[in-house]
Each structure stands twice: as C-alpha cells, then as structure tokens.
C-alpha cells in the first residue's frame, strides 16, 4: 500500500481531524446533508498516529460493485443515497479526472484522508498508461548518477526545462519506482533477481525499469488492483467531464468540482469536491496519426483553460520516430478486427508504437536503399533524442518520396529479441506476418506525447486554488522543449505524490472558509436547456458533420502543425481551429451535452492553443521546428503561455452557455494573431496576483512559485503577440448540415 508522506505541519497540536477547528463549517453541515464517517479507519501505518478524515454529505447516485465502480443504472444498499434519487449532485472529498498512472497514484495517496471519486470516460483501465511500452526511469545502478539523469533531461529538453522540476523528479525517481515494486508491479528482472535496466534514446546510462515491452499495462494493473480494493476510492466509468466548477473567494478563483456527463444514462451531474485533480492525459487525437487511445482528446487541458488556468508550452508536440507502418487498406481491416475482439477498449490510436527500447537494445534505422541514414544527422545515431530522430526520418521520407523506413533488430539473438519485445513481435506477426527476429520493421513517425499542458508548480498546483494537475495533462517544466524517453510515467508518479500535502491542506481551507461557496456550488447546479444532456442523440446528418469536421481538423493539424512547420500554414490552421471551436460551441448550445460535440470542441480548443503557442515561438527549439526560423534564438529561451482573460469568477457555465458563471465556453479568447502587448501584461498581472495568493494560503511548506525568477526556469507569462495576419476564412466544411443552419448563419445557434 502506498504511504502518504504528510509533513508534521499538517498534523500539529490542535488540528486533529481535518476540519476539527471549523466543525460548524464542515462540508456536510454547511450544505444541510447528513454526514457519514469514512469507510476505513484512515490510519495509514508508519505515517500518522491519528486519523484525518473529511465529513461528507450523502449524495451518491448509483451503486458500488466489488470494484467500487458506479453505474447510474443500478442501485445497491452498500452505497448511501440521497433522499431524492434524481439529485444531480455527487459529493467527494477529492475528485480525480483520469485513471492512469497519475490519477491512480494520487487517489491511493489521498484516500486515507477522505473519499475519492475517479471519473473516467471509458473503462478504468483504458488510457495512455496501459499503452506505454518502454518503461519508467530511475537511477538504480551504481555506475549511474542523478546528476547524469538531470543532464540528459535538460539536453533533451533543449535547455527550456524548469531546472527545479527536473531536480525534484530525478532525485525522487528511485523512491517512487520502488513504491511500484512494493505495490506488486512485476518488472523484468535479471537472473540474479535485480531489476533489469535498459537504455533508450538520449540516456547516457541504462536506467529504464520495464516489464518486457508492456510496462504501462503492468503498472496500470498493479495500481488499479490496489485502487479497486480501497473502500474510499469509487470509480465512475463512462463518465465524461464537461467543465470545472469555479467560484470566487477573496478575489481568487477556487475550483469546487466539475460538471460531468454520464454516458450511459445520458444525465448531467455535478461533482462537488474539496480538492480536484486533473490527470486526464494528453491530446493525441488532435492528430490523425497517433499512438494515443481514442479517449485522448485534450479534455483536461481545454476545460482548465476555459476555467481560467494558465496553459504552457503546447507547441512542443512529440512525434515518436517509430510507429508501425501499415498500408491504409490493411490498417482499416486490422482496426475493424480489433474492435470486434475488444469492443470495450479504444485501441492505442491509429498507430502502434515500436518502443524506443528497440533502438536502445541495438536496433538500427535504414532507408529502403539499405543506407543507415542516421549517420548523416547525429553522432548519437539511433540513440539521439526523439525530436532529432523524427525529423531525420521525416527528411528521408520527403526527400526520397517513400512511405516508411526500416528498423532492424534482426542482428541480435532471436531469444533475446523475443524475450525483450514479445508484444511487438506478436503484433508485427499478426498484422504484417513479419518475424522481427529475421526481418526489419517498417516504421514512420506518429504523434506520441503532449509536452505542454496546464501550467503547474512543484506541488502540481495550478493558477486556480484547489485545482491540481499531473501527468501528461500538465506542464510541470520537466520536459522543456522535448521529453526524454521514459520520463513521462515517472513525472506522473512524482507529482501525484507531491500533490498530496497541498490537496489535504486546501481541503481543510475549504472546510473552514468556503461553506457558502460549497453550498452555492451544489444549489446552483442547473442542467436545463443547453446544459441538459441530449438523450436522443444527434441526427445522422449531424453525426456525419461531426465525424467529417473532426477528421479534417486533425488532417490539417498534421499538415500544418506537424514535425516541420511554416508560419503561413500555422496561421491557416489556427483560423480553422477557431471556426471549428465556435461551431462546436454553437452545436452544444443547440443540441445539448453530447460526448461527440464535447470532444470536438475540446480538440479544436487544444488545436487552437497549440498553434497559438507555435506562432509565438520565432525560433526552432526541440520539438518545434519551423522553416521560417530554423535556428535557436536566445531571446526566446522561455516557456510560452496562454491564459483566458476573465474579469471575475463565479460558478462556471462551461459549454454551450447557461448557468451563472463567467469563464466557460463563449467568453473572451486570446488571439495570438491580433492581441496587443498591453493585453498580455494585464493577463500577467492577473496570473501574478492569483498565484501569490495561492502560495500564501498553503502555509509554510517550502515550495517554488510556478514562475520562478530564474532565467532557466521562468514560469512568468511573457506572451509576445504574433505579427502574422490570419489567412482567409477556413474551408466551408466546418459549416454543419444545411438543414441544421439558421438562415444567414454559417454555424449552429
């Protein structure tokens, strides 16, 4: 079982149970609902001598099976219910969006202090974590050093990393990885029983802990089993988070939960929480060729931005150099077959990843003429960082007019190849009839990882009180301009652990001071009109429009915002993304909450932000390579930022209008093509004030501002407006079907 390392300052004399100093303002009391004790004694061994728990209101709707999984279609005496079974309110102490490595780790570590609700769009085990092949890195060998890991991370990140984030992640890596071992993760071992360490591109030493080539799946299995056995953790599968619930306290925005769509019952509900964690993964589905599963539509990034949180570094999209190339006709047949055999899983995107560990174990890249072409590009050859290898392959494909290159591991002993890469060997055999121990693997680059995201500090805190983010959805500063291989799973582990202290501290702050806001958060939930779930679904013509628009936006992003970029093409796809976002917003307002429209809006929002960040960066650094500015520019050696300007905060209305809040969809939007320097200075002032309050409130624990003054680790928004003018209006395919259009309008209203 994970241990929660709560500092002594959180359990000083006089505090006792969380909220004991302010019992008249406990959550349950202030809302007028019955309070219940926790389902466990909340006394984790070796950490606390006393129990710390939060009082909870009884508002659950649904049931709990043996896996603590809830469905709106069943009831159970094991789960307390509210007097009115139709109530749209669900209450929890800690709300977690996402059930991957970051979300599950966080849930396990805050569970001793209150109830945890995990909201996930698919089944609990579906997400990016289970598709991670390579491993998780930590310095475990005596010949290696933390300083070497730090150096490799900064070099891969093109020196845009936040050095404080790099330092804490690399130094805490060993403890977090060994926690997984103690939890039961079955990693590959050497004959003497020690952990087998492999090497990947950009690493100077062997430091990758792995479970053959299915590391993510093994970590997900171990974490999920522990979470499902925990009586304080409850899963809400097939629930899509729509928007965050934001209210104001002392002039500072606070997150008090989220509005959620039950995809089975087609009902909207509001989860009211004391602390909220976004761990929903990245935005791979913004691109047509991605190793990410279909649930990776950038939901967390988009909703945090709409709520007023700062997002950062979204121009840095990692394209993995080696995904399996399958000709389009055969790929469609394989996808159809996989859906028949595993209908509840969304498959790992349209591209199957060939882990970097293949190159780490000696795999070599050749073009179709048999030339080992990496000798032309980098003296590290196949072990150069991913951005360099991906651009090298892209150059080969374009210059030679070829569709793939070849990755060859067949010179290694057959038993060794099949032992290290059984999943890849099986997939290549099933898909192409190819024996990787005898034949080279056809590979092409594919979108793999979103290096930017919701801007966070060293405790996973965002610019909104009570809102935390970790994993791929966050931009902690660890990766800089390019992620070092196998640092992603590690980042989720480290920052999920570091978020526990401030989450518990913030929960106590809410209980003591925000009783009125909690009551209003529950009382103001109104899911009528445009906020109502669309029970009947979309018409066939609208479904066709959504599918067509989504695909054409993704293809435009691949062409115009891919591995190699040009400013004029970025401006074109920016205009297109804006139009798609506005059309999706109008469609939500007209038709109500539907996951297809929610995802389309989120994809368009993240696409727009990605391009906006790319237009700000007038240099080539790391994963952002533009032909207009092909060199490094020291004056641009700082993160990019985007923040939605808001005059004040109140309960956020989110998508499609309705409600009483400012800060949801339909508010003011930053336009990098037309904004003025003064507008960005105003945004910077807003961000500074909010963030200073955030750190003052959390107490005397040492922590770093998420925008330190160091030039190498700055987090202060310094957005420079682009001088590029947007192109003409995007193509007319954005317009929904004619029968759905209001006269004289090209979008739904």
Please tell me the total count of domains within the chain: 3
How far is 646 from 661, CA to CA, in rounded Å? 11
Please, what is the end-to-end C-alpha distance for the chain in angstroms?
Answer: 51
407 domain-assigned: yes
Evaluate whether 511 touches 52 at the Cβ level (below 8 Å): no
More confident residue, 40 or 194: 194
- Tell me, yes or no, whether 299 and 328 share the same domain: no
CATH number at residue 616: 1.20.58.100
**Mean pLDDT, the chain, whole residue set:** 78
624 domain-assigned: yes
pLDDT at position 91 over 60: yes
Rounded to a whole number of angstroms, the CA Rg of the chain reads: 25
More confident residue, 145 or 657: 145
How far is 340 from 34, CA to CA, in rounded Å? 46
CATH number at residue 503: 3.50.50.60
Q: Which of 205-209, 428-432, 527-531, 646-650 has the lowest mean pLDDT?
A: 646-650
How sure is the predictor about 68, in pLDDT bands with cuts at 50, 70 and 90? low
Mean pLDDT computed over 396-415:
93
Query: How much of the chain, in percent, has pLDDT values that exceed 70?
Result: 71
Mean pLDDT computed over 289-295:
91
Q: By residue range, what is the domain housing residue 516?
A: 8-74+87-125+232-282+292-311+451-471+491-523
- Tell me, yes or no, whether 338 and 391 share the same domain: yes
Tokens of 456: 């966070």
- pLDDT value of residue 200: 86
- Tell me, yes or no, whether 241 and 92 share the same domain: yes
pLDDT at position 507 over 90: yes
CATH number at residue 383: 3.90.700.10
159 domain-assigned: no
Place of tokens 């974590």: 129
- Tell me, yes or no, whether 382 and 498 share the same domain: no
More confident residue, 235 or 251: 235
Q: Residue 335: enclosing H or E segment and its boundaries?
A: helix 328-341
- pLDDT value of residue 386: 85
- Tell me, yes or no, whether 591 and 709 share the same domain: yes
Q: What residues form DSSP beta bridges with 507? A: none
How far is 373 from 272, CA to CA, in rounded Å? 55
How far is 196 from 184, CA to CA, in rounded Å? 16
335 domain-assigned: yes
Q: What is the pTM of this model?
A: 0.79
- pLDDT value of residue 707: 23
More confident residue, 105 or 711: 105
How far is 37 from 128, CA to CA, in rounded Å? 35
- pLDDT value of residue 618: 95
- pLDDT value of residue 527: 84
Mean pLDDT computed over 124-146:
91
Among 279, 303, 387, 257, which Cα is nearest to 609's?
303
Evaluate whether 605 touches 302 at the Cβ level (below 8 Å): yes
486 domain-assigned: no
Mean pLDDT computed over 601-620:
97
Evaluate whether 588 touches 284 at the Cβ level (below 8 Å): no
Q: pLDDT tens, 470-492?
A: 999 999 999 999 999 899 999 99
188 domain-assigned: no
- Tell me, yes or no, whether 671 and 599 share the same domain: yes
Q: pLDDT tens, 159-210?
A: 999 999 999 999 999 999 999 999 999 999 999 999 999 998 889 999 999 9
- Tell me, yes or no, whether 503 and 548 share the same domain: no
Evaluate whether 137 touches 149 at the Cβ level (below 8 Å): yes
More confident residue, 41 or 474: 474
Mean pLDDT computed over 86-112:
95
Which residues are known catalytic residues? 386
Strands 233-236, 69-70: pairing is parallel
More confident residue, 145 or 20: 145
- pLDDT value of residue 128: 84
Q: pLDDT tens, 537-546?
A: 778 899 999 9
Q: pLDDT tens, 386-397?
A: 889 999 999 999
200 domain-assigned: no
Q: pLDDT tens, 682-732?
A: 444 444 434 433 443 443 333 332 222 233 333 333 222 222 222 222 222
- pLDDT value of residue 385: 85
Residue ranges of E strands in 487-626: none
How far is 698 from 705, CA to CA, in rounded Å? 12
pLDDT at position 132 over 60: yes
pLDDT at position 577 over 90: yes
- Tell me, yes or no, whether 113 and 48 share the same domain: yes
pLDDT at position 643 over 60: yes
481 domain-assigned: no
- Tell me, yes or no, whether 459 and 444 share the same domain: no
- Tell me, yes or no, whether 275 and 353 share the same domain: no
How far is 504 from 512, CA to CA, in rounded Å? 13
- pLDDT value of residue 615: 95
Q: pLDDT tens, 444-467?
A: 999 999 999 999 999 999 999 999
pLDDT at position 506 over 80: yes
More confident residue, 744 or 599: 599
3-state secondary structure (DSSP) of residue 710: coil
- Tell me, yes or no, whether 418 and 498 share the same domain: no
3-state secondary structure (DSSP) of residue 307: helix
More confident residue, 52 or 354: 354
- pLDDT value of residue 25: 31
- Tell me, yes or no, whether 116 and 251 share the same domain: yes
pLDDT at position 75 over 80: no
| Residue where a domain stops, chosen among 390, 414, 448 | 448
pLDDT at position 331 over 90: no
């Amino acid at each position: 079982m994970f241990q929660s390392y709560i500092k002594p300052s959180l359990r000083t004399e006089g505090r006792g149970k969380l909220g004991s100093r302010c019992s008249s303002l406990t959550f349950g009391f202030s809302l007028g609902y019955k309070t219940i004790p926790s389902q466990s004694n909340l006394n984790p061994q070796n950490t606390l001598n006393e129990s710390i728990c939060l009082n909870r209101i009884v508002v659950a709707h649904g049931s709990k099976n043996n896996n603590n999984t809830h469905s709106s279609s069943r009831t159970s005496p094991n789960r307390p219910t509210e007097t009115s079974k139709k109530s749209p309110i669900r209450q929890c102490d800690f709300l977690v969006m996402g059930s991957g490595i970051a979300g599950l780790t966080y849930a396990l570590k805050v569970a001793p202090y209150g109830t945890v609700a995990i909201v996930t769009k698919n089944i609990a085990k579906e997400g990016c974590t289970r598709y991670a092949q390579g491993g998780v890195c930590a310095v475990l060998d005596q010949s290696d050093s933390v300083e070497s890991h730090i150096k490799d991370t900064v070099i891969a990140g093109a020196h845009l990393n936040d050095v404080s984030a790099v330092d804490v992640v690399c130094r805490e890596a060993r403890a977090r990885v060994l926690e997984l071992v103690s939890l039961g993760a079955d990693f590959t071992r050497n004959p003497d029983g020690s952990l087998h360490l492999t090497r990947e591109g950009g690493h100077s030493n062997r430091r990758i802990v792995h479970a053959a080539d299915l590391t993510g799946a093994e970590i997900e299995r171990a974490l999920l089993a522990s979470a499902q056995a925990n009586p304080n953790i409850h899963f809400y599968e097939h629930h899509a988070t729509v928007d965050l619930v934001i209210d104001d306290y002392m002039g500072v925005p606070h997150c008090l939960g989220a509005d959620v769509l039950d995809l089975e019952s087609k009902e909207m509900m509001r989860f009211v929480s004391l602390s909220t964690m976004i761990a929903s993964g990245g935005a791979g589905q913004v691109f047509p060729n991605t190793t990410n599963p279909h649930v990776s539509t950038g939901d967390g990034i988009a909703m945090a931005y709409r709520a007023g949180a700062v997002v950062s570094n979204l121009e840095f999209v990692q394209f993995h150099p080696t995904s399996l190339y399958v000709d389009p006709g055969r790929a469609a047949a394989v996808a159809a077959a996989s859906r028949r055999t595993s209908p509840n899983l969304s498959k790992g995107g349209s591209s199957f990843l060939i882990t970097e560990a293949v190159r780490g174990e000696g795999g070599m890249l050749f073009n179709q003429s048999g030339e080992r072409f990496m000798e032309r590009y980098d003296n590290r050859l196949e072990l150069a960082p991913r951005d360099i290898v991906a651009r090298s392959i892209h150059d080969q494909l374009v210059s030679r007019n070829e569709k793939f290159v070849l990755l060859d591991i067949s010179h290694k002993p057959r038993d060794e190849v099949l032992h290290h890469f059984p999943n890849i060997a099986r997939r290549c055999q099933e898909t192409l009839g190819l024996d990787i121990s005898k034949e080279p693997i056809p590979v092409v680059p594919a979108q793999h990882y979103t290096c930017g995201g919701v801007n966070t500090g060293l405790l996973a805190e965002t610019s909104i009180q009570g809102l935390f983010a970790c994993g791929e959805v966050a931009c902690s500063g660890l990766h800089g301009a390019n992620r070092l291989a196998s640092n992603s799973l590690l980042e989720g582990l480290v920052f999920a652990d570091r978020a526990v202290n401030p989450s518990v501290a913030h929960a106590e702050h809410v209980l003591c001071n925000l009783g009125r806001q909690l009551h209003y958060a529950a009382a103001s939930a109104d899911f009528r009109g445009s906020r109502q779930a669309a029970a009947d679904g979309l018409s066939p013509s609208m479904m066709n429009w959504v599918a067509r628009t989504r695909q054409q936006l993704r293809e435009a992003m691949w062409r115009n915002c891919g591995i190699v970029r040009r400013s004029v093409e970025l401006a074109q796809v920016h205009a297109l993304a804006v139009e798609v976002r506005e059309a999706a917003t109008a469609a939500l307002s007209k038709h109500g909450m539907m996951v297809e429209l929610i995802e389309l809006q989120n994809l368009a929002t993240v696409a727009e932000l990605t391009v906006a960040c790319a237009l700000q960066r007038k240099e080539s650094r790391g994963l952002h390579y533009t032909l207009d500015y092909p060199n490094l520019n020291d004056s641009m050696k700082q993160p990019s930022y985007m923040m939605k300007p808001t005059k004040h905060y109140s309960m956020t209305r989110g998508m499609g209008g309705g409600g009483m809040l400012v800060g949801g969809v339909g508010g003011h939007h930053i336009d990098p093509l037309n904004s003025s320097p003064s507008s960005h200075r105003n945004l910077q002032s807003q961000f500074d004030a909010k963030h200073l309050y955030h750190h003052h409130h959390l107490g005397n624990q040492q922590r770093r501002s998420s925008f330190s003054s160091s030039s190498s680790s700055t987090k202060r928004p310094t957005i420079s407006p682009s001088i590029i003018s947007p192109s003409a209006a995007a193509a007319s395919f954005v317009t929904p079907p004619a029968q759905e259009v209001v006269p004289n309008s090209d979008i739904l209203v």
